[in-house]
Amino acid sequence: MSGLIEQNGLLGGWLMVIGQMLLFTVVLLLSLAFLLLMDRKVWAAVMMRKGPNVVGPFGLLQSFADFGKFLLKEIIIPSGANKTVFLLAPILTLTLAFAAWAAIPVAPGWVISDLNVGILYLFAVSSLGVYGIIMGGWASNSKYPFLGSLRSAAQMVSYEVSIGLIIITVILLAGSMNLSDIVNNQGGGFWTWHMLSFNHLLLFPVMLAMFVMFFVSALAETNRPPFDLPEAESELVAGYQVEYSSTPYLLFMIGEYLNIVLMCAMMAILFLGGWHGPVPLGADFVNQFPAWMVNLGHLAWFMAKIVFFFFLFALTKAVVPRYRYDQLMRLGWKIFLPTALVAVVVVGGYVVYSGVQA
Amino acid sequence: MELIAFYIFAAIITVSAMAVIAARNPVHSVLWLILCFFTAAGLFVLIGAEFLAMLLIVVYVGAVAVLFLFVVMMLDVDFVELKQGTLEYWPFAGLVGLAFIAEIAIASFARGPGARDVFNPAPGADTNAEAIGAVMYTDYVLLFQLAGLILLVAMIGAIVLTLRHRPEVKRQNIARQTARRRADATTKVSVEPGKGL
């Protein structure tokens, strides 16, 4: 951002920054509409249903119809609710979900803010996401939402620990906390992706395990099935969302799905080479084209990876039964935490003794 | 520009810190406290210490304040009763506040007016994180480890104090549970009609 201001002057720089933010927001919201549909379609396909297919061809416009419905309904605020906090919670969730995208590099140089501590920023913002849920559950002044928010807070705090440690292994391997550097560290084809890391063959089993653990932790962190205990409909009706209706509910839902897409993007960046294609061939040919066209190609790879992970999220929702709460906690604290801790030691030792980083 | 941002952040911190004390509802107090932490992280970013800022958010806002919020939400406190007799503490609180102000004043006067200009957020390294790591794991490694050990002891102490073994509770042995097969739990009996088992 400061670079843009230096290049284009104060006013031009600010306009560029605001333009980038608008572009990100619009693209994210639009793609979210279709990802939501994809989620429902995949779910339906597993159950051998057709899914939404009435609004538009193949139900493509279903999300927009839902959007209109949410906007036009009445906002109901329970009389015993803490009004300010009640309305603040969904706004907070949505804002944080968008804020995290400021640090995501979608193609070489295409990022709103290329932070030195990009990965920590993502971690920090996603750890703030729990407040929207706690505040929403508490402010509703009702039993089920409160229980749901307590569950979700405990769950998210627990799995953040293992996510943090897994991220540390990637940071150690890449030698940087800058997301662009982490992606460029995996630029040499799919065998250098951190998920496989064939170029550090000793670490292959470790990093593969870290990747799987990150995926599972991401499911738990975003309260997705099989870890959707905060909104377990069979016990808590809908958890922290029970009292929400209309637009506040919509904000919660958009925030939740944006967080899921964010987790997919994080997995793509940390483990699957971000914007890099699987085989680094034809670089000479590609570089004949102007830079923005090359970047569009990179963007396509990045989005393809995100969609792939989103598909996995949707599939998991459809095929895996819900965990019991004590098993969830056991998995987080007794299995993931020690394993990730050992992995940090192993990767750290490897990096020190093999001198991977300069 | 930086100055404007500083004054905005400073104003938000001051107001939210006051609101922490003034709020009638303890949950609101904690929420104000979170805003205070968050803005303090903003101040860290302003002086170029982005690593510390992120750590502040991850540790204090993301973990510690969640626990605060947990505890406060679960407590069933009578707020009216709690508010009674607050006035008795004001002289003492004022004394503590005065001591704080005096200490900060002494420290800033001792450093002199030009101190901010020579401040370097990452001495001897490219980034903040590298600078901290280089010092923390070399010169101060013993102190760092000691701090970790103290925290560990505190944690174990808390667990030991609150751990109760209740023999009458039935617990699930996960290993045994997953090792169970259908043959271990069920038997197939062919019952002849009219006889029963």
Q: What is the pTM of this model?
A: 0.85
As averages over each run of 10 residues, the pLDDT of chain A (358 residues) reads: 60 81 88 90 89 84 88 85 86 89 84 82 86 85 83 84 90 86 82 80 86 91 81 72 84 89 91 82 75 82 90 89 84 90 91 74
Q: What is the CA A66 to chain-centroid distance, rounded?
A: 23
Binary contact (A157, B128; C-beta < 8 A): no
Arithmetic mean of pLDDT, B61-70? 83
A5 touches chain B (CB under 8 A): no
**pLDDT exceeds cutoff 60 at B48:** yes
Q: What token pair was written down for A206?
A: 């470790």
User: In a 10 Å sphere around its CB, with 0-12 CB exposed, 13-18 middle and 19+ buried, how is residue A13 labelled?
Assistant: middle
User: What's residue B27's pLDDT?
Assistant: 82
Compare all CA atoms of chain A with the CA of B71 and give the residue at the minimum distance: A150
Q: Which residues of B touch A150 (CB under 8 A)?
A: 70, 73
- B62 CB neighbours in chain A (<8 A) are 124, 127-128, 130, 157, 160
Domain parsing of chain B, residue ranges: 1-119, 120-165
Residue among A116, A128, A138 whose CB faces B73 most closely:
A138
Q: Which residue has the higher pLDDT, B112 or B54?
A: B54
Q: Quick check: B39 and B9 in contact, CB under 8 A?
A: yes
Say if the Cβ atoms of B66 and A123 lie within 8 Å. no
The HSE-up count of residue A234 (CA atoms within 13 Å, CB side) is 6
- B-chain residues within 8 Å CB-CB of A123? 54, 58
- CB distance A117–B129 less than 8 Å? yes
One-letter amino acid of B137? Y
Q: What is the CATH number of domain B1-119?
A: 1.20.120.1200
Q: Write down the pLDDT at residue B53.
A: 87
- What would the pLDDT profile of B81-105 be if each residue is shown by its tens digit? 666 666 777 888 889 989 999 998 8
User: Does any CB of chain B come closer than 8 Å to the CB of residue A187?
Assistant: no
**Nearest one of A24, A23, A20 to A8, comparing CA atoms:** A20
Tell if the CB–CB gap between B54 and A123 is shorter than 8 Å. Answer: yes
Nearest alpha-carbon partner for A240 in A169, A161, A150: A150
Residue recorded with tokens 């259908």: B182
pLDDT at A358 (0 to 100): 45
Would you call B57 and A330 a contact, using CB atoms and an 8 Å cutoff?
Answer: no
Task: Supply the pLDDT for residue B116.
Answer: 61
Mutate to test the interface with A, among B58, B68, B171 (most CBs of A within 10 A): B58
User: Could B129 and A121 be called an inter-chain contact, meaning their C-beta atoms sit closer than 8 Å?
Assistant: no
Contact check, Cβ <8 Å, A85/B31: yes
A164–B62 C-beta distance less than 8 A:
no
A164 touches chain B (CB under 8 A): yes
Average pLDDT on B8-32 reads 87
Over residues B123-160, the pLDDT tens digits come to: 777 777 788 888 888 888 999 999 999 999 999 999 99
Measure in Å the smallest separation between the Cα of A76 and chain B Cα atoms.
22
What gap in Å lies between CA B147 and CA B142, rounded to an integer?
Answer: 9
Give Cα separations from A125 to A30, A132, A255, B28, B54 (angstroms): 22, 12, 12, 21, 9
| C-beta atoms of A157 and B50 within 8 A | no
B57 neighbourhood in chain A, CB within 8 Å: 124, 127-128
A248-284 burial code (b ≥16 CB/10 A, e <16):
bbbbbbbbbbbbbbbbbbbbbbbbbbbbbbeeeeeee
Give the ipTM: 0.78
